[in-house]
Structure 1
Amino acid sequence: MNKVFAICIFAMIANLCAENKYNVLMICVDDLRNSLGCYGNKDVISPNFDKLASESVAFDHHYVQVPTCGASRYALLTGLRPQNKQSMGNGAFKQLSRTQLDGAQTIPELFKRSNYLTSVIGKVSHTADGRNYAYNGKGNGSDELPFAWDWKKTPFGPWKRGWGVFFAYADGKHREDGSGYKPRMEFKDLEDEELPDGLSANEAIRQLDKLKDKRFFLSLGFYKPHLPFVAPKKYWDMYDGVDINLAPHDKKGETAYWHGSGEFYKYQGDKTKPLSTEEQVKHRRAYYACISYVDAQLGKVMQRLKDLGLDKNTIVVLWSDHGWHLGDHQIWGKHNLHEQALKSPFMIRVPDIKGKMSSAVVETTDLFPTLIELCQLTFNKLSQPLSGQSLVPILNSVDTLGRDSALSFWGKAVSLRNKNYRLIATKGKKDEYSKIELYDHRIDPNESKNIAQQNPEVVDQLLKIIKKENKL
């Protein structure tokens, strides 16, 4: 009888493991464009990003749904394209039900209801620690993602609160501390752990040690390279002697979707428009130094994952919420519908799947159905149908085509990107579109020449797709 009982228990455990097949380590990086060695940038020092890319299926045509932090992360975590105006801003998560529904509303809720231990460190949704507080610290501290997390253990250090660590400078100072101190960049002689991303990496390592015998969904959000550009000085020094290139198209151009880089210029620093060549190089170096700082923290976390043997049963996702103009089109920031703001790193490392680079066109919303198919979760009921499509066929065969096109949104404007073209247009009344711009990426990867007037048939074809798929 005991032997039969043991066999039954073993069978039940085996079945559970077959269903909840993998752990997940999801790493979100804020404001990271495709300026990594693995994506062809020779100026940036990013060995750990590059190593992860070599072990992953990395996508070089991944596009976010909205080029701002909160709305992009809402699309990631819900698997939904924007369906209303609230989905377009940093308050997007406020529309989630605070009463638990029959189906899960977000990725971590689905994993939690499948008996995974779920944990958030840093900025994964919009708030810097998963709790509802304003920049000034006011708020009730409720979960930004309801029913999602078992652990919320973002380390605050001397900054004491979530938005403090997000806008941190050295020695406990931060942009929102009331002092008025807000330089655009700061590089002091510090250890990694004396700034927030180093603390977060150490907390992730500590949690991996605790979680090694459990099924887990661990989400880790790094704050850099988001403004202000702050990292230990050694990462700035890494670029001594590096000949940093300017943006290949650093002219304002004739695009209707240009903006004045308000987020960038509100920090203390050079206010010149446009920045001088010297200042452009300086700011690109600062951004790259922050990437190298995060790269080092990524390397520490991945090494511990491998030391614990967890790389053999853990999916690793690396994703950024949008790109960032580094002087491209004379813009310093995101918040527009050009390639530089919408394209961002996306990698999926799956045990026993060989690393390769995919040029398939994919969207942020595609992650949710991909994890469902890969992990075979015990709970699989959703609150509403997902917008994305599973990338498992591409993971299994890198030459598999992705979606025909990706859609992105900003204000009343929408952008469609397929393999060859980007179309940008603004929706007016009665489903009419204006301010139409078309770029041919086969000959114009920097989107410097609008060819809409010369290609009316292409414009009409792509507008039909937008009109069909745009739910706003």
Structure 2
Amino acid sequence: MKQIYSKIIMTSLVLLLSLTTYSQTKKEAVAAKPNILFIAIDDMNNWTSAMGGAAKTPNMERLAKAGKLFTNAYCVVPACNPSRVAIMTGVRPETNGQYTNPGNFRDLPGNANRITLPIYLQQNGYEAVAAGKVFHNGRGKGTEPDPQSDPQSWNYQFPNDVGTKGHQLYLDKNNQAKWLEGAMYKEGMNINKPDYLSKFGVWGVTPEKKEETSDWKNAEFASNYLGEKHDKPFFLAVGLFRPHSPQIAPQEFFDMYPLESVKIPELPADDQDDLPEVAKTNFSSNFVRLVKEKGQLQKATQAYLASMSFADACIGKILEGVEKGPNKDNTIIVLWTDHGWQLAQKERWEKFSLWKQATNSPLIIKYPNMKNRGLSTNQAVSLLDLFPTVLDLSGIAKPDFLEGTSLVPILTDANYIRKEPAITTYEKGNISVEKGDWNFIQYIDGSEELYNHATDPKEFKNVINIKENQAIIKELRAYVAHLKKEKR
């Protein structure tokens, strides 16, 4: 009998030890998962100092030196809402249906239960937290979160607004920019719904101090969160609204760019001559004409640069939480902007085109035990690649629905040459293919453009009709045909 009891006790001890070991192993596995920090910047183009631009962005420079800068990264769609939806769902607009800014992607067919990156990470043991604008809207301060902040994606959203105050100071009685002097006012116009650019095409100083702005408070929340220990690995996404319109920033950032020293973009008079008719104008072209006629381009450029530097200061505040906190050595950092931004190039304002100035999106990735730090790459990549990349870096299996390509081979091998192009869609049927030095554009009416960034980085010369380019045109045209056929 004693032997039986001894065996029972021994078996129980072994079982208890096994369960304890299993529990400990499970805890270690959870603890071993790296944290993930997304820093999402709204409407910031490639003028950052890290990319050789005129904007003073020392914190982005510092992060680039500690990680990897992708100088040739491109948005999936050159508009805020569909760009962010593509990043967070891991699929193209041809799949999720969100091509333009209006509307909530959840209301489109097939999206009610679509799994987003934060949802997928939660399914793999993460806490998902957001502050500011990550999807199309921030949460806001209300009792209920804004539906376009995609509340179902988050365990918690910081209740706050985005951007800076002071917009109303620069508007006239008709809710339009004062500098327009009524040039875009139409008799009987509903002043509560003026033309978008006539209201938001505004630049100037906010009466707020840096620390009083919503963008700074979102950065401060993120910094504090990053400075704490957490029971679970976390996915923290913080979205900064500037330099999105209106370009209103604290005085200290305007002081960094004395107006007389600000250089406006290079705008060749004949830059429209070689464009197909479908591409020559859009809704912003008349606004660009007024910006020039009323002598506002230099002021607008100054305000955009100031807003970039303000955003960079917020980035510095966020990074402070990583560097001074307990998560310094186990956090993946991904800094991205949702698309580029145009200031009168090719008679365009803001985004909404397939040219590089609208689609090129600064991207920096840093992760634990990273090799080849500080080495940038000019290989064309897509923001669609972020979902699979963070999963690979986290050791999490990738779901089958993802349409991007992991950037881990480029991150880990300085000699790796990517085969896949970066493909951008602007409204249904208009597609750009970036590969190597080339940007090939095909519009819905079949007209095309081609630019060689090796000889023409600002895309002043459309070389679609040059005989020597027919081989590369054929190659890039095939990607467009494949996408259209695949998504029919």
TM class by shorter chain equals: 0.7 to 0.9
Alignment of 1:96-111 (within 5 A): 100=113, 105-111=115-121
Change over 3 Å in CA distance of 1:360–1:143 after alignment to 2: same
Contact 1:357 1:398 in 2 (8 A): no
Which residue of structure 1 lines up, in the alignment, with residue 325 of structure 2? Answer: 308
Deviation of 1:190 after TM superposition, in Å, equals 2.9
Deviation at 1:244, TM superposition (A): 2.6
Is 1:54 the equivalent of 2:65?
yes
Q: Which residue in 1 is equivalent to 2:247?
A: 229
Counterpart residue type for residue 28 of structure 1: A
* Mean Cα deviation higher: 325-334 or 28-37: 325-334
SS in 2 for 1:358: coil
1:279 is aligned to 2:296: yes
Residue identity opposite 2:414 in structure 1: V
- What letter matches 2:341 in structure 1? W
Alignment counterpart, residue 368 of structure 2, candidates 340, 344, 351: 351
Query: Which residue of 399, 402, 405 maps to 1:386?
Result: 402
SS of equivalent to 1:219: strand
| Structure 1 residues 278-327: Cα deviation after superposition (integer angstroms, max 9, x where no partner) | 53222111001001111111101101211113121000110111000123
2:457 paired residue among 435, 445, 452: 445
Matched, 1:466 2:487: no
Opposite residue 29 of structure 1, the aligned amino acid is I
Distance 1:36 1:374, change over 3 A: same
Instruction: Report the CA distance between 1:14 and its aligned residue.
Output: 2.1
After TM superposition, the structure 1 = structure 2 runs for residues 111-122 of structure 1, keeping only pairs within 5 Å, are 111-122=121-132
Is the 1:437–1:450 Cα contact (8 Å) retained in structure 2?
A: yes
Q: Following the alignment from structure 1 to structure 2, what is the Cα–Cα distance between the partners of residues 226 and 322?
A: 11
Separation in structure 2 between the aligned mates of residue 318 and residue 214 of structure 1, nearest angstrom: 22
The 8 Å contact of residues 360 and 400 in structure 1, kept in 2 or not, is answered as: no
Map 1:3-152 to 2 at 5 A: 6-18=20-32, 21-41=33-53, 43-83=54-94, 86-90=97-101, 91=103, 93-94=105-106, 95=108, 100=113, 105-129=115-139, 141-142=146-147, 144-145=149-150, 147-152=152-157
Opposite residue 256 of structure 2, the aligned amino acid is M
- TM superposition shift of 1:11: 2.1
Could you say what secondary structure the match of 1:83 adopts?
Answer: helix
Q: Is it true that 1:244 corresponds to 2:258 in the alignment?
A: no
The 8 Å contact of residues 164 and 249 in structure 2, kept in 1 or not, is answered as no
Structure 2 residue aligned with 1:431 = none
- Match of 1:401, SS state, is coil
- Mapped to 2, the partners of 1:146 and 1:98 lie a distance apart of 14
Residues of 2 paired with 1:374 and 1:29: CA distance? Answer: 22
Segment of structure 1 superposing worse, 73-82 or 142-151: 142-151
Task: Indicate if the aligned counterparts of 1:96 and 1:146 stay in contact, CA closer than 8 A.
Answer: no
Deviation at 1:4, TM superposition (A): 6.2
- From the superposition, tell whether residues 179 and 186 of structure 1 become closer, same or farther in structure 2 (CA, over 3 Å): farther
Q: Which amino acid aligns with 2:27?
A: I
Number of the residue aligned with 1:374: 393
CA contact (8 A) 2:432 2:439 kept: yes
Q: CA 1:87–1:98 in 2, change beyond 3 Å: closer, same or farther? A: closer
More helix by percentage? 2
| Residue 169 (structure 2) pairs with residue 169 (structure 1) | no
Distance in 2 of aligned mates of 1:84 and 1:115: 27
Report the Cα offset of residue 214 of structure 1: 3.2
1:11-54 Cα shifts (integer Å, max 9, x gaps): 22223334xx210110100001111111011x211111111111
TM-score, normalised with respect to structure 2: 0.81
Q: How far off is 1:421 after superposition?
A: 1.4
Residue 376 (structure 1) shift: 1.9
Question: Given the superposition, is the C-alpha separation of residues 197 and 373 from structure 1 closer, same or farther in structure 2, using an over 3 Å criterion?
Answer: same
| CA distance in 1: counterparts of 2:104 and 2:416, whole angstroms | 33
Contact kept in structure 2, 1:170 and 1:195, CA below 8 Å: no
Matched, 1:336 2:347: no
Change (3 A) 1:321 1:171: same
Matches of 2:95 and 2:476, distance apart in 1: 22
Match of 2:86, SS state, is helix
Change (3 A) 1:143 1:441: closer
* Deviations 1:216-253 (CA, angstroms, capped at 9, x unpaired): 10000000000000111111011127733322344442
Change (3 A) 1:217 1:250: farther
TM superposition outliers: structure 1 runs of 4+ over 6 Å = 170-177
1:92 Cα deviation (Å)? 5.5
Query: 1:235/1:274 Cα in 2 relative to 1: closer, same or farther (>3 Å)?
Result: closer
Structure-2 residue corresponding to 1:365: 384
Is the aligned partner of 1:154 residue 2:159?
yes
Alignment-derived partner of residue 259 in structure 1: 281
2:211 is aligned with 1:193? yes
Larger radius of gyration: 2
Cα distance in 2 for partners of 1:324, 1:170 equals: 20
Greater shift, 390-399 or 239-248, is seen at: 239-248
The Cα of 1:443 is off from its aligned counterpart by: 1.1
SS of the residue 1:119 aligns to: strand
Give 3-state SS (helix, strand or coil) of 1:70's partner. helix
Structure 2 letter corresponding to 1:118: A
Gaps of 5+ in 1: 157-164, 266-270, 429-433
- Decide whether the 8 Å contact of 2:227 with 2:326 is kept in 1: no
